[in-house]
Every structure is written in C-alpha cells, then in structure tokens.
Amino acid sequence: MRRRLVKENRPKVILYGLGPIGISTGKILAQRQSIEIVSAIEIADDKAGKDLGELLGIKAARGITVSKTLGEAKNYGIADVVVHTTSSFVETVFPQLEEIISGGMNCVSSTEELFFPILKAPDATRKIDELAKKYGVTVVGTGVNPGFVMDTLPLFLTGVCERVDEVHIQRRVDASKRRLPLQKKVGATLDADEFYKRVETGTLGHIGLRESLQYLAVNLGWNLDDIEEQVDPVISEKDITTEYFHVKKGQVAGIKHIARGFTNGKAVLSLDLRMYVGAEKSFDRITIGGNPSLEIEVKQGTPGDIATASILANSVSLAMHADPGLINTKYPMWPHCEKL
Amino acid sequence: MRRRLVKENRPKVILYGLGPIGISTGKILAQRQSIEIVSAIEIADDKAGKDLGELLGIKAARGITVSKTLGEAKNYGIADVVVHTTSSFVETVFPQLEEIISGGMNCVSSTEELFFPILKAPDATRKIDELAKKYGVTVVGTGVNPGFVMDTLPLFLTGVCERVDEVHIQRRVDASKRRLPLQKKVGATLDADEFYKRVETGTLGHIGLRESLQYLAVNLGWNLDDIEEQVDPVISEKDITTEYFHVKKGQVAGIKHIARGFTNGKAVLSLDLRMYVGAEKSFDRITIGGNPSLEIEVKQGTPGDIATASILANSVSLAMHADPGLINTKYPMWPHCEKL
C-alpha cells in the first residue's frame, strides 16, 4: 500500500497513554505549533473523560476529552502518528500496535522491548513489520535508554572506525536529583534482601539493556557466544538525605545493572548502568576499542526524563518520513562500522 | 527505475581516485572480505597502469590494473558502488558524478561540498538528485568533517532535546602528530602575511565548514540571518620542533577557521576549528544549549585521516541500502530536534 500523504503540513497526533512519559511527551508536542494533537487515550479512571489541556497544564491542548480506548477516540484512523506510551513489554503492547497499524497510522512507542524486539519476540516482530508494510506505516520504538545512550549513539560513533573490537558504555545517574518515583524505582532505602526479592519478581531493574546490547551486536555484525545480565544493589556508604527521604549507611542507595556480551570468553560489549542516590556525578561514557579507539563523554549525562519525552516527540517526523515497517529491523540509515 | 538487486552478497566496488584518502579507503575496503574491489581509476601518470595491490600494499588487491578513466575501467556499470575521492568541489566533480550515476552505480564521495551542496550549488544538487533517482542509485557525500564531527554527530545528539537554542562546536587538532602534508596544509612555518595571501588564493583553509553550518541550520529548522566565516593564523608562542620541521616563535603554527551563524544578531551556531602544531591536546567538544543542555567531548578528538577513510568505507553499505537520490537533500533517518 502506498504511504498516505499528509494533506496539510501539520501532522495529526494521537497520544496513547498518559502516564508520566505520555504526559511529558504530550507537553512537548502541544507546544510545537506545526503539530496538532487530535486525541488522547488513557484507560486509568482518574484521567479518562478529563480534558487533555488540564492534564497537560497547557491551554493549546484544551477541548480534547481523553478517551478510554483507541476505537472510541475521535479522529481514529485520520491521525498521522500515534505516540504510544503504555507498557515496557512487546507482548503487552502487541494488540495495541495491531490496532494502531491497521488503522493506517504511524506509531512512535516508548515500549522498551520494541526498540529491538527481533531476538526476544521474533514472531511478534515479524508480524508488526509485515503489518506495517501492508498498511504503509512506520513503527518506531525509541527512548533515551534503550534508544540512545547505550545503543544508537555508540553505533553512530562507530561510523568513523575502520574496525571495532569492543564497546563499553557506562551510565551513572545521581538519583537524588531525580523525581521520587525514580528514587523508589532504583530501590533506595531497601535492604539488600528485599532488593534481590524485587529483582526476582521483576519490579526492579532496567528494561531494555539486553535489547541495547543485542542491537549493538547485530549491527556491528558480531555473533555473541553468550550474554550475561546482572542486577545488584549499590549499598550506601554513608547516611544520605534527599528531598524525599533518608538512606542510611548499609541500606540500598540504588541499582547497578550490567549486561555483557562475550565472544571467545571475552566481554567485547559491556553496558554498565548505575542509578543511585549519592552518586558523585552523573555522566555517560562510551569507550570504543578499535581503529581508531574513541572515548566519548556526555558531561552530566543525558537527563533521562526530558530526554525520553524529547526523543519520542522528535520521532514523530521520523515516523512520517521513514520507509514503512518496524524501524530497527532494517539497516540503520547512517554509516556505522560492521564486521564485513 | 527500480533499484538493481545485488546478485551476490559481495558488493563490487570501484575506487575512483587514488590520492591519500582514496588509498586509505582502498586499504580498508581491500581487507573487508565481503566487499570486492573490481576496478580502480586514477588519472595521475605515476599511478595509472600500475597494479592496485602494489599501490595499496595489500595482496588481496593484486591483479587490478589502475585505469585512467571510468569509461576505460573494467566492470564499468557492473559495479555496485563507486568510492569517489577526487576533488573538494561540486563543480569539479559534477561530470564525474554524472558518469557514475548514468552508469547505474551508487556513489560514496569525499567531495566536501557534496556533503550539503543545496545552498552553494542548487542546480547541480537538483540535477544529481534527479539523475540518481532516475537511475535508482544513492549518492552519499561524507567524511569526518564535513560529515561527522561538526554536523551529523551534533544533529544526532539533538535527538534527545526538547528545544535547541544554540549549538557550539570546537575541534582542536594537534597537527604536530599528523602527517607532513597536513602540517603544510595548516600553514606551519609561514609568516602571517604569507598565510593571509594563501587564504585569499584558496590554498589554505578548511573546505566544508560552511556546508556543516548550513546542514545544521536547515535540519534544526532555523533561518539564519547571516553567516560569517573567518580564517586566521595561530601564531606560535614558542619554538616548536616536529618530526618534519621547526616552527619559530612568531611564525604560523597553524590555522584557526571559524564559521558562525546568526539570528537576531546572536551567534546561535559556531564551528571553531583549530589545527596547529603545538596544540596542547586534540579534542572535539559539542555544546548544545537548550532543554536539556548537553556537553559532549570526544577525548583526544576524532583522528581525521583514519576517520575519513573509515566513514567512506562504512558508507558503502549505506549507499546500497538507502533510497535513491542524493543523501542529504532528504530528511535524516534518525530523530533530531527541529523547530516545529
């Protein structure tokens, strides 16, 4: 099917999901004059039926009543792009994506697993990609991490390398400057036992680290023998007081989540993410071993909250311009080093 | 015209131009097992007629005799990608590109002006783009600078920004560690008068800085009121001895080339490139002012020589996968911030 042309220069956007990320992204989009938000979807009772402008705190978005489902939404199927922020997992979002794509709408999603789902969910990935091609729409899974710091940015940097032997990425986030939910999310104030229990039940840990690692390996043309993933607490070495609470010496200050990819027993890829209260500073550091070797630092790091909402908002144009299909199942459209 | 399919997995490459960059790129490509170099072109008498393997110093490339023109080359029109490294200027390379494209071959070119030629050479740009679409091939103009440090990398970084107000880029290259031609190219050992004379005749100065600036402005959606470009000598404050020669105190140590883009009297874009012997260290620094603001440093900088050859070699796959046309006349296929 041919891509539907946008009849005017103002892409029509539907917000699907009004959790913290959906709200932040909505705020950015509502302030972009060349984009028009035409509908919003949120199943939660405290938001459905409300006025979007009030939820976003932005006048320009007034007059749009939040619907419970996409099917009920005004402009269903007339919109150009759905900005989708409901869940981290491909399995959960699959029926939602089916509905969006079959409605003939492009989709930008914050679903972490959707950034590079081919290895974890090959069947769903192929179905999404085929369906998107059938309806002539583009599906973009993105965010700051996965989507930027530990995958696309390092791969972009390899564009100037003749040869890449290893890639190591460190991300340090001083959680004490972040919002309360993030401080809770990293497990601050827990004891170590409780921390590990929550890791086992899947309520602690960063989603998408494995996807970032696999995206790098596949696009560098590397066959990994093994992947190791490890989540541990960072134990506070002193008493720390944040805006919200106290972390005592010996309690959990936050999380250390590391993924490594091995070839011939050597960790050729490592993604080392630490988010905890009391981190001396935030930074992102990408080290590429090869020819040339490169070391890149993002001073102060890439601020997670605003960066995620921004890259989702900035992907609306990408979803309108890129070829139909699921975006990271295709060759990235910029030069990068690959083993050839 | 439909894109011609590559019948086997080994793209056939022609090297067009065997100057220092052509040779370096050829060395990389000759060592990539999944690429096959099928011809080489060089007009210079000391290379035409010679064996490519000997010129590259690589056995795998033996048996290919260097032709003087593309028309005479074996496999003309059968190759998938021409790696073109002949001149910095669009006007000079235009007939060469016409021949490559009309031969049905994709092209990766180091021509600096070709990185973003639409503003300087709009007619040639449109003709190249139209011709490439007619023949179903992709033309990529790239390099480390323009092509990476001061344009695509900063634009890539804006993908995580809600809003970009200004972008400032510094590149410092300690020329004393570089090859003799580069030390000469930056004007080392000249006196200031001679330096400015050479700038006037166009034999000194970095080509492509204006193109990098315009690429950033157009893709960020900014209308610049004015562009200023200034080339000055860096005067040595002490006697310096390199592997090749002595720079006395008061002589030119190298070049300072700055381009600025203004809106409402403010320099919202600045590209500040300094290459000189005796620079304390090499680095690239990208500062983005906006929300969030970001500061990124490439420690030791991106090494120019190997990086340029690498990005050319890495663009062979891009030229095979991207949609037909001239690459930077289209929307970049990754999220970036734009004024909307």
Say if residue A99 is exposed, middle or buried (CB neighbours under 10 Å; 0-12, 13-18, 19+): middle
Contacts of A35 in chain B (CB under 8 A): 340
pLDDT digits (tens, 9 = 90+) for B212-233: 999 999 999 999 999 999 999 9
- Confirm or reject contact between B58 and chain A (CB < 8 A): no
When pLDDT is cut at 50, 70 and 90, the band that residue B206 belongs to is confident
Contacts of A13 in chain B (CB under 8 A): none
- The C-alpha of A290 sits at a distance from chain B's nearest C-alpha, in angstroms, of 11
- When comparing pLDDT for A149 and A241, which is higher? A149
Mean pLDDT of A18-39: 95
Predicted ipTM of the assembly: 0.95
- Confirm or reject contact between B73 and chain A (CB < 8 A): no
pLDDT digits (tens, 9 = 90+) for A287-325: 999 999 999 999 999 998 899 999 999 999 999 999 999
- When comparing pLDDT for A339 and A5, which is higher? A339
- Confirm or reject contact between B289 and chain A (CB < 8 A): no
Q: What ranges do the domains of chain B cover?
A: 12-143+308-329, 152-301
For domain A12-144+308-329, give the fold: Rossmann fold (3.40.50)
Give the H or E element holding residue A181.
Answer: helix A180-185
Contacts of B152 in chain A (CB under 8 A): 156, 334
- pLDDT of A191 strictly over 50: yes
Please check whether residue A108 is in contact with residue A312, taking contact to mean a CB–CB distance below 8 angstroms. yes
Tell me: domain A152-301, CATH 2.40.128, correct? no
- Confirm or reject contact between B106 and chain A (CB < 8 A): no
Contacts of A317 in chain B (CB under 8 A): 331, 335, 338, 340
Cβ pair A306:B291 closer than 8 A: yes
Cβ pair B298:A294 closer than 8 A: yes
- pLDDT of B285 strictly over 70: yes
When pLDDT is cut at 50, 70 and 90, the band that residue A109 belongs to is very high
User: Which residue among B315, B318, B331 sits closest to A321, beta carbon to beta carbon?
Assistant: B331
Best of B314, B318, B328, B339 to substitute, by most chain A Cβ atoms within 10 angstroms, is B314
pLDDT digits (tens, 9 = 90+) for A74-105: 888 899 999 999 999 999 999 999 999 999 99
Mean pLDDT of A146-166: 98
Task: Look at domain B12-143+308-329 and name its CATH class.
Answer: alpha beta
